[in-house]
Structure 1
Amino acid sequence: MLVKSGYAPIHDLQLYYEIHGSGQPLVLLHGGLGGIGMFADLLPALAEQYQVIGVELQGHARTNDIPRPLSYAAMADDVAALIQYLGFSQVDVVGFSLGGGVALQTAIRHQQLVGKLIVISATFRDTAWYPAVRAAIGQLDEVAAAAMVESIPYKFYQEYAPNPANWVQLVCKTGAMGKQSFDWSSDVAKLQSPCLVVQGDADSIPLRHAIEFFELLGGPQSHDPEQRSQSQLAILPNINHFNIIDRIDLLMPVINQFLAS
């Protein structure tokens, strides 16, 4: 149930957000070229138990763009400012794909605001994506934007964006962001927030990356439950990058178990 929606004046943005449900606050961050609407199944399921704050990131859906490149760090700072604007002292954060990177940076840059962190199908290193996937993201440009006019992201953007003509700009900025080099290994190793890493077994990221992610978070280092890391790893069977957030039958049990633990 939608409780509240609005626009927060954050860093020259009018950052759109929605609040659904009640309980422990849980920020939900979408993937690239998307918006809150991509969580058509997951958001209602989460809102049955949590107070879900859906956010639409810079230039996406209902949130306007500004003369600033897309970057994980800048969007993480936007999310942190929104958390404070809404009056929360600490929240849990869930992010998918691009939103997973933003969620991870939010925990890295604003540790005091993040209780638990759930990263779905996202990386801590730009080279972790399969080479063909990384190349495809980097090739998002004017030509790609024109070729996507029949796509679901395009139609969603045209329906909700304050300036639908900015579609090409969003696609090009996403492509430029895809070319950015980053490696947050040392930051991940120092994270204080317990983190659940979720990935499909047929995802756009090799399984070895998810294992390395989990190892950086401190697990598994012991068979003794008293000494194990509070972070967790979940590999979902027969799941790829495009259907993982729709499979709430697999996602919700691991999310609920992690948040309750």
Structure 2
Amino acid sequence: MGAYADLPGVRTWYETEGDGDPLVLLHGGFCTNETWGAQRPDLAGAYRLFLPERRAHGHTPDVAGPLSYRDMADDTAAFLERVVGGPAHLVGWSDGGVVALLVAAARPDLVRRVVVIGANFRPGPECFTDPAMLDAMTPDSPDMEFFREMYAAVAPDGADHWPVVAAKVVDMWRTQPTLSPEDLGCVRAPTLVVAGDDDLMTLEHTAALYRAIPGARLAVVPGASHLVPLEQPERINRMVLDHLAGDAEVETMMPVLRAASGAPGGGG
């Protein structure tokens, strides 16, 4: 079921499904809720899903000026307050993961548990495995056809607005996010960091993200790319469900990072 919510920043399209504790799914850049198709049945069997489409994505219109992750995080916090009605679990993929981290750091009162998939905390030139890909992402390039068609199918601003949105998103990737390890240290919600072993972000960057979040857990999925939720949905869905249920919090026999931080789940 889909509807619009009139939030302070933008009139936001969202969908809902399932019953139980609230779980917000945050899609990736250039994407729509359609990309969560492989996750929705399993997750909706255990949770009440909320799927907002961010400004300039899907059914949600663009706004004046540049796009920023912080504005999108503010939109998401307002969505949690006004539509969800309180704290929820957040699962964010790519740009959605960046937004989830920002919300978790700034509004811990609104976040229960977090899963981020293929997320980054520094701009693309600093963390992409192949930063040159940013130069190839022109609105009419063949590599953008999938996103271009997805946008044109539902965008309230019309297909002709695609070049504007494409340029805004790529500009955002070039310069944002600009989080520090200290910023990530403000994330207190139990967090699972997931990446493919051949992801857009370097494994070194993903490891730095994981290490900066107190008590975080890390899963590097073998034989997977940035599209791991589509490539290995059963594995990803199981990881998400286990983490949100707390089933992954077992005491280890020889903790190092968790022993030093005193985070839950450490042994010694």
TM-score bracket for the superposition, by shorter chain length: 0.7 to 0.9
1:238 to 200, 223, 226: 223
Instruction: Choose which of 190, 197, 222 in structure 2 pairs with 1:201.
Output: 197
Q: How many residues align?
A: 242
Give the SS at the match of 2:140: helix
Q: Given the superposition, is the C-alpha separation of residues 138 and 23 from structure 1 closer, same or farther in structure 2, using an over 3 Å criterion?
A: farther
- Stretches of structure 1 that go unaligned for 5 or more consecutive residues are 219-228
Farther-moved stretch of structure 1 (117-126 vs 179-188): 179-188
Question: Which one of the candidate residues 175, 178, 182 is aligned to 1:180?
Answer: 175
Q: Which runs of 5+ in 2 are unaligned?
A: 247-268
Say what the alpha-carbon RMSD is for the aligned residues: 1.7
**Alignment partners' CA distance in 1, 2:63 and 2:243:** 36
1:249 to 1:87, Cα distance in 2 relative to 1, 3 A:
closer
Matched with 1:129 is 128
Change (3 A) 1:149 1:119: closer
Amino acid at match of 1:167: W
Q: Conserved in 1, the CA contact under 8 Å of 2:50 and 2:84? A: no
Q: Distance in 2 between matches of 1:180 and 1:129?
A: 12
Q: 2:225 & 2:84 partners in 1: Cα distance?
A: 36
Matched residue of 1:86: which SS? Answer: helix
CA deviation string 1:149-203 (max 9, x = no partner): 9822211111111122211111000111012141331111121111110001111
- In the alignment, the residues of structure 2 paired with residue 197 and residue 150 of structure 1 have an alpha-carbon distance, to the nearest angstrom, of 27
> Which aligned pairs between 1:6-85 and structure 2 lie closer than 5 A?
6-85=3-82
User: Normalising by structure 1, what TM-score?
Assistant: 0.87
2:212 is matched with which residue: 211, 216, 219? 216
C-alpha separation in 1, matches of 2:143 and 2:219 = 35
CA distance 1:236–1:14, shift in 2 (3 Å) = same
User: TM-score of the superposition, structure 2-length normalised?
Assistant: 0.85
**Cα separation, partners in 2 of 1:149 and 1:184, compared to 1, 3 Å:** closer
Change over 3 Å in CA distance of 1:178–1:240 after alignment to 2: same
Cα distance change on mapping 1:138 and 1:63 into 2, 3 Å: farther
**Which of residues 202, 213, 237 is equivalent to 1:252?**
237
Deviation at 1:211, TM superposition (A): 2.1
Does residue 166 of structure 1 match 2:161?
yes
Cα distance between partner residues in 1 of 2:186 and 2:240: 22
